[in-house]
Amino acid sequence: MRIDIISCVPNLLDSFFAHSILKRAQQGGFVEVVIHDIRDYAVNKHRTIDDYAFGGGAGMVLQVEPIARCIRALTSERSYDEVIYLTPDGEQMQQKMVNQLSLLGNIIMLCGHYKGVDQRVRDMFVTKEVSIGDYVLSGGELAAAVLSDAIIRLLPGVLNDETSALTDSFQDNLLAPPVYTRPADFEGNKVPEILLSGHEAKIEDWRHEQSLLRTKSRRPDLLQ
């Protein structure tokens, strides 16, 4: 998979992709992440990428021309399955969406900033709009990082134990059960005996029951 991220503050993303699972995924050849600076596609020597909104109002708007030039440069080199715009008014990000995106080949992610992008960018180039929650960030970079992380960890070979992702919260519309590790007794707080029994079938039954209880208590909407 290849993920191209278009941003006006690309340095915000450098550290995120340079560590842990995301770093190993790139080094292992499971994913290629390329970050593009919108200013490199500006139409003037001042590298201008934003302007005031027609009709007035507070805040600046990212211009259509630099973004169009960037997307067209990328699509002239390879085909893309989705051009995703990260925006608060997009489709709510959920695990089912992430699962589907993880099956694709090439993805472009466009990060908004200021008051967003010229609507013509959305009309002409964007194929999918995604929100990571009902709140507003300073820009789409954090949202792109969150979506990328969720996708990349699902790619075959990225996690040492590929079954790990299948037992995450939301994969089966249930929250994950409690987990424990050593010591078995910490200041009188003991690990449930069933987990120490070595009886795999009973342990799986216990985990499923705990997932149901946790989901009913914290996210009953998932059971509907």
CA 102 to chain centroid:
10
Which domains, from first to last, does the chain contain? Answer: 2-152 (3.40.1280.10), 169-223 (1.10.1270.20)
Q: What letter does residue 116 receive in the DSSP assignment? A: -
Residue with structure tokens 């009886």? 199
Per-residue pLDDT of the chain (224 residues; tens, 9 = 90+): 999 999 999 999 999 999 999 999 999 999 999 999 999 999 999 999 999 999 998 899 999 999 999 999 999 999 999 999 999 999 999 999 999 999 999 999 999 998 999 999 999 999 999 999 999 999 999 999 999 999 999 999 999 766 566 666 677 889 999 999 999 999 999 999 999 999 999 999 999 999 999 999 999 999 98
Mapping DSSP to helix (H, G, I), strand (E, B) and coil, where does residue 74 land?
Answer: helix
Global pTM value: 0.89
Long-range contacts of 10-18 (CB under 8 A, 24+ apart): 10/35, 10/36, 10/37, 12/139, 12/141, 12/142, 13/141, 13/144, 13/145, 16/145, 16/149, 17/145, 17/148
